[in-house]
Amino acid sequence: MHPELVAKPGATTTGFIRLVGIDGRVYRTITVPAGSTATSIDIAGLARANYFVVFAGNETVAATQVWKE
């Protein structure tokens, strides 16, 4: 397993983290329980490429671009 750790402010409601390819394809969707502050995403098996990690919750959406080597 090759997990990546995503840290975020404590969610007050259930949210979601999506791992999205540069082409718009959603590769992973992880439910984030209310109150959690960190989540692991298993990136094993994904090709070397740019991806977006998108967090949606607490009535906000935040995204960052990452490179998987």
For residue 7, what are the contacts with CB-CB under 8 A and spacing of at least 6?
37, 38
Instruction: Tell me, yes or no, whether 30 lies in a domain.
Output: no
**pTM score over 0.75:** yes
* Amino acid 36: pLDDT: 81
The H or E element that residue 7 is part of is strand 3-7
Instruction: Tell me, yes or no, whether 29 lies in a domain.
Output: no
Report the distance separating Cα 58 and Cα 42, nearest Å: 24
Could you tell me which of 33, 64, 46 has the C-alpha nearest to residue 3? Answer: 46
The H or E element that residue 27 is part of is strand 26-32
State the residue range of the domain holding 59: 15-23+47-69
- pLDDT values of the chain reduced to their tens digit, one per residue, 69 residues: 455 556 555 667 888 999 999 999 999 999 988 888 778 888 888 999 999 999 888 788 889 999 998
* Amino acid 44: pLDDT: 86
How many structural domains are present in the chain?
1
Whether the CB-CB separation of 16 and 31 falls below 8 Å is answered with yes
Instruction: Tell me, yes or no, whether 52 lies in a domain.
Output: yes
